[in-house]
Every structure is written in C-alpha cells, then in structure tokens.
Amino acid sequence: MSTPRARRTVISTPDTRQADHEAAAQVADAVDARQEHAVDHAAEAPAAVTLDSSRSPGPGYDTAAARVAEAGEAVLEASRGERPRSFDPSDFPVPTGREEVWRFTPLDRLGGLLEDAPSDEDARDVVVQAPDGVHVGVLGRGEGVRGSALVPEDRAAALADAASPTATHVRVPREVELDEPVHVSVVGRAGRRGAGHLVVEAERHSRAVVVVEHTGGGAHADALEVVVGDGAELTVVSLQLWDDDAVHLSQQEARVGRDARYRHIAVTLGGSVVRLSSTARYAGPGGDAEMLGVYFADSGQHLEHRSFADHAEPRCRSDVRYKGALQGETARTVWIGDVLIRAAAQGTETYELNRNLVLTDGARADSVPNLEIETGDIEGAGHASATGRFDDEQLFYLRSRGIPEEVARRLVVRGFFADVVQRIGVPAVTERVMTAIEAELDLAVGPVAGVAAPADAAAEPALAAAPSSAGAPAGGA
Amino acid sequence: MATLEIRDLHVSVETDGEPTEILRGVDLSIESGQTHAIMGPNGSGKSTLAYSIAGHPKYTITGGTVTLDGEDVLAMSVDERARAGLFLAMQYPVEVPGVTVSNFLRTAKTALDGEAPALRHWVKDVRTAMSDLKMDPAFAERNVNEGFSGGEKKRHEILQMELLKPKFAVLDETDSGLDVDALKIVSDGVNRVRAGGDVGVLLITHYTRILRYVRPDVVHVFVAGRVAETGGPELADELEENGYDRFVQAVAAS
C-alpha cells in the first residue's frame, strides 16, 4: 500500500464482534501502527463495539449478538490531548449526556454529584495505615506536589477538588523501599455526599504499593493524584467494593517520572454506578505504565472505566489490560481506552486490551479503544478489544472430563480473569479479588458443594500469562 | 466386565436451519478389554458418533439407544457420562485460557472420584504419565491447549485418558496430523492404557497407519452414517490395499 503516512493517525476501532466459539480465537483485533495497512484501515473505522445481550434474547448455542454503535452519536474530540483541564468547576458545564465524555454514563443516577453543592461532613471516614518510614499528612491547594499531576478533566473531578481544601498526602521518601503496602480505607456513609482528594507521592528511587479501598455507601467524587519520582516503582490499587447503592466518580491520574515504573490496578465489583478514569502521563523518558482493570457487573450496576496513556516523552511504555464479566438483567460495563502518542514520543511502545465476558442475557458491554499516533517513529502500538458470550465449547470440553457444569463455569470465568489477576502482583489483593469473583459467581451459579471444588487459584504455582501478554499485538483481524 | 451398546442410533445436526441426518441407524457393541477400530471416509459420520456418545449439544438424537451396562447414556448430562466412565479424546481439543493443565487434571480427577486425589501419589502419577508421553514437565503449568501444537494437543488428550482411567474411551482421529514419531508416542500411550486394565477403546480413524501400532480386535467400516461391514483386523488390511471404494459403491448402489 503506497498511501503516504498521515501526520496524525486516529484509530478508533474495535472491529470485534464475537459471533461464535470458533471466532473467539480470532476476535482480537490488533493494529500495529507500524503497518501501513493498519494505519490506512484506521481512517474509516467505526467508533465502538457493543455486545448488547439485552437486545438479543435467547442463549443460542452458536449465536451471539453484537452491535457496532454508530459513529457520530456524539461530538467527537479532535484529539484526546485537547480535552479541557481545569480546577474551576464552572469551566465544565453541566453535561447533557451527549458529550463524548459522558455519553455512556447514566447521568440521572449520579446522586447529584454533578451539581455544585456542598459535601456532607460525615459522608466518609478515611483511614491511612502506613508502615514506618512513610509520611502521612495533608496538602492544601497549591502545596507540595498537589495539582502537579492531576488537573480535573470533567465536572465531577473539578467539584471533588474544589470540595477538598485539604488533600490527604501519602509520601514515600526517596530511596525508601516498603515491604508491605500502605492501606488507605475510604468508608462511605449511605445517603451522604462526599468528596476527596488523595495525593500519593513516591519520591525518586522509592518502591511502594498503595492500596485504596472504597467500601460503604453514598455518593462520592474523588481525585487520586499520583506522582512517581524518577526511577521509583509504585503500584496503586484502587478497590471499588462499594455497597449496592453507592455512586462513585473518580479521576485517578499519575505523572510518571524518568525511568519510573507505575502500575495502576482498578478492581471494581461493588456500587450502583462507578466511573473511574485512570490516566498516566510521563514527565521524562523511559517511563513505564501498566494499567490493569478487573470488573464484574451484576444486575443494575453500571461500571465504567476510562484509561488514558498520554505519551509526550520518548521511549516510554504503556500496557493497558482491562477484563470484565457481566451477569444479570441491566448489568452494564463501559471501557474507553485512550492512547495518545504525541509527536515528541519517539520510541513509544504501547498496547491496550479489553475483554468482556457476558455470562447471561440482558447485559451490555461497550468497549472503545482509541489510538492516536502523531509520530511514525515508534516501537509498537497495538490494541485489542473483544466482547463475547460464554464459550460453550470450553464448557463442553471440561464437562466431558466429568467436571460438573457449575464447576466448569467457574473454571472458565476464573481462567478468563487469570492473566490480569496474576499480573496484579500484590498477593493480598490477588487473593481478595479471586475471593470476590467467587462470591460473584455464587450469585450466578450457586455455591459449589465440596466434592469437586477447583483447586485454589492462589495455590497454583504459576498461572502462566496468556500469550498475548508478550506485548506484541495479539491476533489478526 | 462392562459393555457399551449402541442400538439403531439416529442423529441429526442443524445446518442452515434444516436438520440433516448424519447417523442412520448405528449398531455397535463393545466390551471392556476390547479395541474396535471404526474406519470410514470423510463425512461418513465417524466424528458425529463420537460426539453423540459424549453428549455434545450440537447433535440431536432422533432415535435409538446408547447404554453402558444397561444404563441409559443418552439420558445423562455430559459430565454424568464422563463420571459413568466414558471418555472422548477429541480431534480438535478446545483451548481454555487461564486454566492450567495441572489444575484441569486435578479438577477432573476430583470430579470423577468424588474426592480430591491424594496429592503425593497424584503428582507422581501426572509426572510419570507426562514423562511416558515425552511431554515437558512445564506443560503442567501451561493453559489447557492454549498455544499447543497439533501433536501436543493429542498427547494431552492421551495424558487425560491415562490419568482419568475411563471404562470406555472413544479416540476421535487421534492419529490425524501426527508425524510418525508422535504417532508412536501416542500409540504407546493407548497401549499402556489397554495393558493396564479393562478399558474398551473405540478407535476412530481415517487411516490404517495407527492400526499397525494399536492392533484392533474388531474393525468396523463406517459409510454414510452406519456400519457397513464388521470384521477382524484383516478388514483393515483390505482397506489399506483397496481403500473405501468397494463400501462406498455398495452404499451408493443400494
């Protein structure tokens, strides 16, 4: 193909519709930006892929329904990099639902979080447990690193910041390496409205894991600001284990220093509406951001994750992997994965993946990877998105070995999550996630009697990562 | 001594919304300790027979019976059939991402026995069986069939057969796609299982090649959805010489 490479390439695809088990292996669509044809194909790609089982009743053996959402439903941004950022809530009009950033979110269920109203004093309890050597304090606006990494990108985040004159500050001093995680507990109170700003700072050459755990109820808007110093290695885990009625909007954004390694892990299992944005920007060359997500939506839950890797520095890496399962009427998930490789970001290597497993009728998953590339000089850029129903062939294979159906279903679902869960790399969190997934499955298929319980995943010596974890774009269209 | 008995089995599949009859009255009995080869040209319904015995939902039984020691196999769910002692080595084993071979084998063994196997013996059994099949121990920690070569998948099927110890094993074209070395390894595995107990083996194959390594007691020629002729091992030799033409023509003429 001799088409000259456009200066700027926008890939907004997913052309993945899983129709049956045979297609499952091939559904992953990967675009390698180094390839002319991929770049070419991107120009006229559709905007989103949706598997909406609520519109296609009947668990046919070889059927699944997929619908490509029509492009042009909303006004698209010229570039992800041009999205307005501001600390002033009035810079963000109250959304109507047609905006690109809000079009997937049920605005009528946000518990007033987009209204400029005061928070309740007793909306939440925040407790920080930190090992020795960690500084825990507060930061006013403009103090320390506050505001250096996170600038609100939507109305909820701006209101959250505005409502937080003091931010909780967790600082791991330079060259301190922690053996155990810092634990931040946010417990919301039902019927209350709360807001918070947490600043996590890992100074240069430090190493730490910070677990932020959200439980309880109420409506909460949060800003989680992360500063990873040069050469530091920081893992931030955000657990959304809310009660059923909770609403949570959170912007989580990191500035990744030179040669630093940042890992962000979003685990969303609870809450009525959860919308979490995870962003990594780079402050110098050689930075590495791994952003993982695991979510499980039941009836009535809307779980939305937005990831953004903003490459403006040379030789940085980003690796984004979100996996979700849905079960029950009206279960709804959204994943929007943005990657921007700016002109200065030569030698960038990026990959993003989203997989959704629809377990029952009546659920709907949206998956939208967006890849913008402004330089041809990159190591690689790939994406994959696939949403499918439960694979009955896998079920048959396992059952043909005597494994009862409910145990087989569990094996398959656990297996589906395994590669991402194993990458979490924080044993306490991994265990909790697997336990929570088991509990979700109890709802779906009922508890399994002792006889044939599968071996504990945590006891598995080495759950091998899927081949797609090699970093190369997986599969072909 | 156990008996698997198939009587006048009729099976159809749905193609383009229309049911198509694939099996047209299959009669076949096999006892434990025996090995029966089922040979036939492509499209004769051999694999349909295999999947129908295992209970794959794609196939609709429209008539006939399958019994295991008098028990109605067709009334059993897929996993109940396996627990009753049936095993199907598949031609195209399915990938199960995120589930390791070791976890899979242990879960299956637990399901079949009703209790978890004693760990020490089990680990040793798995290791020995893998070594016998010349499988790298690292296989145990790979995900089931994911990224396996064709030969690795077949060995993995025979590994399961060795460890799960069925009463009757149906091997659906286990030999296809294997080179001679792999074919010998797989055949040795089948022969070990045969020597080790009272298993009955239904060896479905398109080629006579595997029958040099796994000698059948009985050979059935399968044409157009039913058994066209049954004989001893010499029938395989005749097929080797003359192919299926005689049988196909006979069916076409009738």
Task: Name residue A321's beta-bridge partners.
Answer: A292, A353
Q: Is B56 on the interface with A (CB under 8 A)?
A: yes
The sign one gets for the Cα dihedral A425, A429, A430, A431 is positive
pLDDT in tens, B108-154: 999 999 999 999 999 999 999 999 999 999 999 999 999 999 999 99
Tell me if chain B has a CB within 8 Å of the CB of A399: yes
B58 touches chain A (CB under 8 A): yes
Nearest CA in chain B to A420: B98
CA distance A231 to B77: 57
Contact with chain B for residue A459, Cβ under 8 A: no
Q: Output the DSSP codes for A106-165.
A: -GGGSTTTTS--PPPTTSEEEEEE--TT-EEEEEETTSTTTTTS----SHHHHHHHHT-S
Lowest mean pLDDT among A52-61, A102-111, A131-140, B63-72: A52-61
Name the average pLDDT for chain B: 95
pLDDT confidence tier of residue A53, bands split at 50, 70 and 90: low
What's the rounded Cα separation, in Å, for the pair A310 and A339?
6
Question: Above 70 in pLDDT, residue A463?
Answer: no
Across the interface, of B79, B94, B100, the residue whose CB is closest to A405 is B79
* Nearest chain B residue (CA) to A419: B98
Q: Which two tokens stand for residue A462?
A: 């080495």
**Alpha-carbon distance values, A2 to A6, A12, A382, B58 (Å):** 12, 22, 21, 47
Cα–Cα distance list, A180 to A129, A177, A266, A289, A323 (Å) = 11, 9, 19, 21, 26
| pLDDT at residue A452 is higher than 50 | no
Q: Which of B197, B173, B193, B201 is nearest to B45 (CA)?
A: B173
**How does DSSP classify residue A193?**
E
pLDDT computed for residue A9 by the predictor: 53
Bigger pLDDT: A277 vs A57:
A277
Range scoring the smallest mean pLDDT among A149-153, A463-467, B128-132: A463-467
β-strand partners of A127: A185
Q: A-B interface: how many C-beta pairs under 8 angstroms?
A: 118
User: Can you give the pLDDT at residue B251?
Assistant: 79
Cβ of B93 within 8 Å of Cβ of A397? The answer is: yes
Q: Which residue in B101, B148, B141 sits closest to A462, CA to CA?
A: B141
Rg (CA), chain B: 18
Distance from CA of A445 to the nearest CA of B (A): 16
**Phi and psi torsions of A171, nearest 5°:** -125, 125
pLDDT band at residue A47 under the 50/70/90 scheme = very low
* Contact between chains at B98 and A394 (C-beta distance less than 8 A): no
Contacts for B137 with CB less than 8 Å, ≥ 6 apart? B127, B130, B131
Paired tokens of A272: 């009525």
- Positive/negative CA dihedral, A390, A392, A397, A403: positive
Q: What is the CA radius of gyration of chain A?
A: 21
Closest by CA to A237, choosing from A219, A222, A252, is A252
Chain A contact for B113, CB < 8 A? no
Which one of A399, A407, A413, A430 would you mutate to disrupt binding with B, by most B Cβ within 10 Å of its Cβ?
A: A399
Whether B108 and chain A come into contact, CB under 8 Å, resolves to yes
A417 has pLDDT over 80 = yes
Task: Give the C-alpha distances (Å, rounded to integers) separating B79 from A45, B19, B112, B242.
Answer: 44, 26, 9, 40
Percent of chain B's residues with pLDDT above 70: 100
Determine the residue type at A208. Answer: A
Given this model, what pLDDT does residue B240 score?
A: 87
Most A CBs within 10 A among B76, B90, B107, hence the mutation to make, goes to B107
Give the residue on A whose Cα is nearest the Cα of B157. Answer: A401
Collect all residues of chain B within an 8 Å Cβ-Cβ radius of residue A401.
79, 82, 87, 104, 108, 111-112, 160, 164
Cα B190 to chain centroid, rounded: 11
Helix, strand or coil, per DSSP, at residue A198: strand
Question: Which chain B residues in 73-92 lie under 8 Å from chain A, judged by CB atoms?
Answer: 77-79, 81-83, 87-88, 90
**What is the predicted pLDDT for the residue at A196?**
96
Of residues A61, A414, A461, nearest to B98 (C-beta): A414
What would the pLDDT profile of A275-331 be if each residue is shown by its tens digit?
999 999 999 999 999 999 999 999 999 999 999 999 999 999 999 999 999 999 899
Rounded distance, CA B93 to CA A93, Å? 55
Name the amino acid, one letter, at A468: S
Long-range contacts of B243-251 (CB under 8 A, 24+ apart): B244/B39, B244/B40, B244/B41, B247/B221, B247/B223, B248/B41, B248/B223, B248/B224, B250/B223, B251/B223, B251/B224
Query: How distant is the Cα of A73 from the closest Cα of chain B, in angstroms?
Result: 35
CB pair distance less than 8 Å for B164 and A396: no
Q: Which residues of A touch B77 (CB under 8 A)?
A: 399, 405
pLDDT at A162 (0 to 100)? 94
Q: Nearest by CB to A399, from B78, B87, B143: name it.
A: B78
Average pLDDT of span A167-182: 97
A334 interfaces chain B, CB cutoff of 8 Å: no
Substitution target in B68, B94, B141 with the highest count of A β-carbons within 10 Å is B94
Rounded to whole angstroms, the Cα distance separating A335 from A417 reads: 16
Question: Which comes out higher in pLDDT, residue B95 or A78?
Answer: B95
The answer to whether B102 contacts A460, with C-beta atoms less than 8 Å apart, is yes
With CA atoms as reference, the chain B residue closest to A418 would be B98
What integer pLDDT is reported at residue A59 of this predicted model? 32
pLDDT band at A6; cut points 50, 70, 90: very low
Residue from the list A25, A402, A411 with its beta carbon closest to the beta carbon of B99: A411
Closest B-chain CA to A406 = B79
Residue in A272, A253, A212, A204 with CA at minimum distance from that of residue A233 = A204
What pLDDT is recorded for position A380?
A: 95
Q: Which residues of B touch A453 (CB under 8 A)?
A: 110
DSSP A177: B
Assess whether pLDDT exceeds 70 at residue A62.
no
Quick one: closest CA in A to B54, which residue?
A: A400
* Residue B232, Cβ density class (10 Å: 0-12 exposed, 13-18 middle, ≥19 buried): exposed
